[in-house]
Amino acid sequence: MIPDLWYKNAIIYSLSLDAFQDTDGDGVGDFRGAMRRLDYLQGLGVTAVWLAPFQPSPRRDHGYDIADYYGVDPRYGSPGDFVEFVNACHQRGLRVIMDLVVNHCSDQHPWFQAAIDDPTSKFRDYFIWADKKPADADKGVVFPGVQKSTWTYSRKAGAWYFHRFFKFQPDLNIANPDVQAEILKIVSFWLQLGVSGFRMDAVPFLIAQDGINIADPAPAYGLLREIRAMAQWRKGDAVLLAEANIPPDEALEYFGADGDRLHMLFNFPVNQALFYALASADGELLKDVLRASAPLPETAQWANFLRNHDELDLGRLSEEQRQTVFEQFGPEPDMQLYGRGIRRRLAPMLGGDRRRLELAYSIMLTLPGSPVLRYGDEVGMGDDLALPERDAARTPMQWSGGPQAGFTTGDAPVRPLIDHGPYAYREINVARQRADGASLLNWTERAVRLRKELPEIGRGSWKVLDTPGHILALRYDWEGETSVIVHNLLGEASEFTLALDRGEGDQRDLVCLQTDERVAAEADDHYVLILQPYAYRWFRLGGLDELVRPHGSQH
Ligand code: NOJ
C-alpha cells in the first residue's frame, strides 16, 4: 500500500497568532481571529497552517521561550479555543502544524525554577550545569551582538547553566532519559488534540548531546527516530518538519537512510543559494546545491521557503557571495543582522518589482519539495526597520486600508502597523488586492492552484537540466507525467535549447500552463525556448487536460 505522503505536496502557510487577526481588541491576535480567516487561507489554496509557539511564555523570544508545554497563552485564547481552531481547520481540509521547542525552555518554566531552587531536585539534571565557567563559554553564540555567551551563572543555583540561545532559554539535557520522556509526552499530547505534526525548533542543537563540548558535540540522531516512532504510534500520518540549518551532505542523517527519522527539513542551503541566484542572476550555485540535495528516501521531503519569521540567514554562502546578496537586498547596516543575515521582508528586498517577486515565488513553489509561505508575503507586505532585531518582519497582517488595517479593533497593536511609505497598509492590503484580478494576491492564488495540479513536483524524481547559468530548468517525472519548469534569472530576454529525452515514440509537445501555448520539439528532439526578462514558464508534456493514450495502443 502506498503510504499517505500528504506532506510531500502540502502548501504550508506560516503565521504567528499575535500578528494575524485580533478579535477582542487587546491588540494581540488570537485563535478566534485566526479562525475567522480560515476561509481566506483555504481560498488561497494552502493545505496546512504552521503556528508559531502559542503556549504560555514570557515571550522574550517571540514565544520560543516556553513556560508551560501543555497550555495555551491566555492572550491567544483558551485550550478550548485551540481545539475549536483545529476543528475549524479540519472542516476545511486544512492541517495544523505547531512548533515543538524542546531544545530549551523558558527560565520561568517550573522545571528550571525547581532546578535552581534545590540542587537535590530531580529537575536539576533536566539542564546542563558546570561549576566553573567553561573555557569556551563565549563560543557557539547564535545571536552575536544581542547574546553574549552560551553559559550564564545562576546565583540561586550556585552554578553555570548552558543556553545555546538567549540566557533566559536554558537548554534541556536530552541525555537525561526523563527529559526524553517529557518530550515524547508533549508530542503525544498535542497530537491527541488534533495537530498533524510539528515544526521542530533548532534540531541540530537539540540533538547535540554534550553542551559542554560545543566544538564537537556528538549528535543523538537516535532521539529523532524515537520521536518519530512515538508520533506515528499516536497518529499514523503525523509529520516532523525540522528547522536544521545544515549542509546538504548531513541531511541523510536527519532523514535517516531508511527514512525513519525526520520527514521534512527546511532546505536552508537552497534558500541561501536562491537569494544568491536572485541577487547575481547566476544560478550555478543553486543548481549545485540542488544536485547535492538529492536523492532522498521515499518518505523524506524538503520544505522550501523564501522568508520566515527569522532573519534571512546567509551564513552558508562564501564571504563574496554574501556581500553580493547584501549589496542587492540589504545594503544598509540596519537591514543586516548578526553579521550574516538580512531582517527584511521579501517585497522590499526585491524593490517591490512585481516581475522579480513572481520569479522568486515561482522558483520557490516549483523547487523539489513542499512550499512554505510566510503570512503577508502573498500581498507583498513590507518591514519596519525601526523595530528591534527580527521584529522588523513581524508586523501585523494588513487586511484592509481601514483603521488598524482590520487587524484589531483596539488602538494598540502588538507591534506597530506599517503606516507610511510604499508598503503602508493603506496601499498594500488584502481587501484591495482581493478586488484586483491582477494583484499579487490573485497571482499567488493561481500559482498555488497550478502547483497543486503538478503533484510530480512533490512526489516525482527530478533533475536539473543543462542550460546557461542564468536559466534554471527543472524536470519532474511521476506516474507517466513530466513537467519542465524554467526560470530566467536575468533582466534580459534569453533564448536557449532544452534536450528532454522523452523516450521512444513519445511525440508530446511542451504545453505552457500559464499561456496554454504549445512548443513542439525540433527535428533533433530539442526544444527552443525564449524567456522574457525575469520570466518563468511551467510546462507539462502533453498539457494538463488531454488524456494520454496508453503507450503502444492502436485505438
Ligand atoms: C529558531 C527560531 O526560528 C528562532 O525564532 C528562535 O529565536 C530560536 N530557534 C530559539 O528558539
| Closest by Cα among 341, 345, 376 to 143 | 341
Please report the pLDDT score of residue 507 as a whole number. Answer: 85
Q: Is 18 in the pocket of ligand 1 (CB under 6 A)?
A: no
Ligand 1 centroid – CA 63 distance (Å):
9
Please report the pLDDT score of residue 506 as a whole number. Answer: 83
Ligand 1 centroid – CA 446 distance (Å):
32
List Cβ<8 Å contacts ≥24 apart for 283-287: 283/469, 283/470, 283/471, 283/472, 283/487, 283/489, 284/469, 285/321, 286/472, 287/464, 287/472
Q: Convert the pLDDT of each residue in 181-230 to its tens digit.
A: 999 999 999 999 999 999 999 999 999 876 555 556 678 899 999 999 99
Residue 391 in contact with residue 60, Cβ under 8 Å?
no
Please report the pLDDT score of residue 295 as a whole number. Answer: 85
Per-residue confidence band for 550, with pLDDT thresholds at 50, 70 and 90: low
Q: Is 202 in the pocket of ligand 1 (CB under 6 A)?
A: yes
Element (H, E) at 373: strand 370-374
Ligand 1 centroid – CA 176 distance (Å):
23
Element (H, E) at 461: strand 461-464
**Amino acid at the residue 434:** R
Question: Is 60 exceeded by the pLDDT of residue 541?
Answer: yes
Please report the pLDDT score of residue 211 as a whole number. Answer: 55
All three cell numbers of 414, joined, read 502588538
Ligand 1 centroid – CA 165 distance (Å):
8
Please report the pLDDT score of residue 213 as a whole number. Answer: 58
Backbone angles phi, psi at 321, to 5 degrees: -65, -40
Question: Is 50 exceeded by the pLDDT of residue 554?
Answer: no
Backbone angles phi, psi at 328, to 5 degrees: -80, -45
| Residue among 163, 165, 305 whose CB has most ligand 1 atoms within 8 A, to mutate | 165
Q: Is 61 in the pocket of ligand 1 (CB under 6 A)?
A: yes
Q: What is the mean pLDDT of residues 128-154?
A: 91
Q: Is 474 in the pocket of ligand 1 (CB under 6 A)?
A: no
Collect all residues with Cβ–Cβ distance below 8 Å to 216 and sequence separation of at least 6.
Answer: none
As a whole number of angstroms, the distance between CA 385 and CA 337 comes to 11
All three cell numbers of 429, joined, read 492590503
Burial of 257 (0-12, 13-18, 19+ CB in 10 A): exposed
Q: What is the DSSP letter of 433?
A: H
Q: Convert the pLDDT of each residue in 469-499 to its tens digit.
A: 999 999 999 999 999 999 999 999 999 999 9
Q: How many residues does the chain have?
A: 555
**Residue-averaged pLDDT of the chain:** 95
| Closest by Cα among 328, 277, 336, 333 to 311 | 336
| Residue among 54, 60, 64, 307 whose CB has most ligand 1 atoms within 8 A, to mutate | 64
Q: Is 486 in the pocket of ligand 1 (CB under 6 A)?
A: no
Number of neighbouring beta carbons within 10 Å of residue 79:
12
Cα distances (Å, whole numbers) of residue 286 to 172, 280, 281, 345, 489: 36, 11, 11, 21, 11
Per-residue confidence band for 298, with pLDDT thresholds at 50, 70 and 90: very high
User: Whose CA is closest to atom 5 on ligand 1?
Assistant: 310
| Closest by Cα among 461, 123, 463 to 287 | 463
Continuous H helices in 453-542? 456-459
| Residue among 51, 57, 61 whose CB has most ligand 1 atoms within 8 A, to mutate | 61
As a whole number of angstroms, the distance between CA 389 and CA 392 comes to 6
Please report the pLDDT score of residue 214 as a whole number. Answer: 57
Ligand 1 centroid – CA 148 distance (Å):
16
Tell me how far apart the 2 most distant CA atoms of the chain are, in Å. 84
Residue 149 in contact with residue 97, Cβ under 8 Å?
no
All three cell numbers of 419, joined, read 503606516
Residue 528 in contact with residue 536, Cβ under 8 Å?
no
Residue 357 in contact with residue 440, Cβ under 8 Å?
yes
Cα distances (Å, whole numbers) of residue 322 to 330, 370, 529: 10, 26, 32
∠ CA 71-73-79, nearest 5°, is: 50
Per-residue confidence band for 343, with pLDDT thresholds at 50, 70 and 90: very high
Ligand 1 centroid – CA 463 distance (Å):
33
Which atom of ligand 1 is nearest to 103's Cα?
A: 11
Collect all residues with Cβ–Cβ distance below 8 Å to 320 and sequence separation of at least 6.
Answer: none
Please report the pLDDT score of residue 553 as a whole number. Answer: 46
As a whole number of angstroms, the distance between CA 552 and CA 85 comes to 51
Helix and strand element counts for the chain (H, E): 16, 22
Collect all residues with Cβ–Cβ distance below 8 Å to 154 and sequence separation of at least 6.
Answer: 116, 160, 161
Q: Is 166 in the pocket of ligand 1 (CB under 6 A)?
A: no
Known catalytic residues are: 201, 243
Q: Is 165 in the pocket of ligand 1 (CB under 6 A)?
A: yes
Q: Is 101 in the pocket of ligand 1 (CB under 6 A)?
A: yes
Ligand 1 centroid – CA 310 distance (Å):
7
